[in-house]
Structure 1
Amino acid sequence: MKITKVEIITRTSKLEDLKEALNKIGVLGMTVSQVYGCGLQKGHKEIYRGQEYEVNLVPKIKVETVICEIPVERVLEVAEKVLKTGKVGDGKIFVYELSDAVRIRTGDRGEDAIKDEK
């Protein structure tokens, strides 16, 4: 099996739904970061103390997970189903093949570093 990293950048309001859906298919480990970015949305304008300001970076969340037993296509299907609103700003999913992984505590490498310990 190969080790794959899936990185999802999407709306902050979708985090709990995404976590729940991924947990249901067996994706238990993930890292979540608050990030700012711009894409097609190109930001928006706000007025502060009578002055108009261009806000170019929009708050998003980035969810990263590494999988080896769950099919990547299944993860993508579930994420798309949960996150798709059909509006600009739904986000992006990036998929990377990893050459190795190391569980620091035990020295396990490859798939053994990713799998649940029993």
Structure 2
Amino acid sequence: MKLVTAVLPPHRVPDVMKALQSFGVRGVTVTEVQAYVPRTVRVEIYRGSEYRVNLAPQLRLDILTLDFDAADLVRVIRAAGARGTGGGTVWVTPVEEVVRIRTRERGPDAV
């Protein structure tokens, strides 16, 4: 099994989610994260002091999939997320074991 993770700008996520649904993905974990963007500097004021911030709000999508679907899933995310401006990152991590808590299923049955 593989864990496909994508970090994308928030405005790209609706298109990616539609593409994932069309691909047949049943579950996605979405987390708000901050990504370091060296080219973009934002000035924020906190308690009267100015701070230069190189962090941009992003959304992280985690999708657990079978080994043979991982490459296709990366292609789907890349194609749907390539529209517009800004960047994103996708990576694949091997997963040793998965257990569905409610049904106690293990391995590919739990996906």
* TM-score of the aligned structures, taking structure 1 as reference length: 0.80
Identity %, equivalent residues: 28
Aligned residues: 110
Does the 8 Å contact 1:26/1:70 carry over to 2? Answer: no
Identify the match of residue 106 of structure 1 among 85, 100, 103: 103
Q: Give 5+ residue unaligned stretches, structure 2.
A: none
In structure 1, distance between residues paired with 2:30 and 2:93: 17
**Deviation string for 1:48-93 (max 9, x for gaps)?**
5x97541121100000010117621211111111112485x41111
User: Once superposed, what is the RMSD of the aligned Cα atoms?
Assistant: 2.3
Give yes or no for contact 2:6–2:62 (8 Å, CA) kept in 1: yes
For residues 31-110 of structure 1, the aligned pairs below 5 Å read 31-41=29-39, 43-46=40-43, 48=45, 53-68=51-66, 71-85=69-83, 89-110=86-107
Aligned-pair CA distance for 1:45:
2.8
Runs of 4+ more than 2 Å apart: 45-48, 50-53
Q: Which runs of 5+ in 1 are unaligned?
A: none
Shift of residue 39, structure 1, vs aligned partner:
4.0
In the alignment, the residues of structure 1 paired with residue 43 and residue 71 of structure 2 have an alpha-carbon distance, to the nearest angstrom, of 39
In structure 1, what is the Cα distance between the partners aligned to 2:98 and 2:44? 47
User: Which structure shows the bigger proportion of residues in helix conformation?
Assistant: 2
- The structure-2 alpha-carbon separation of the partners of 1:17 and 1:28, relative to structure 1 and needing over 3 Å to count, comes to same
- Which residue of structure 2 lines up, in the alignment, with residue 4 of structure 1? 2
Distance 1:12 1:98 in 2: 26
Aligned to 2:13: 15
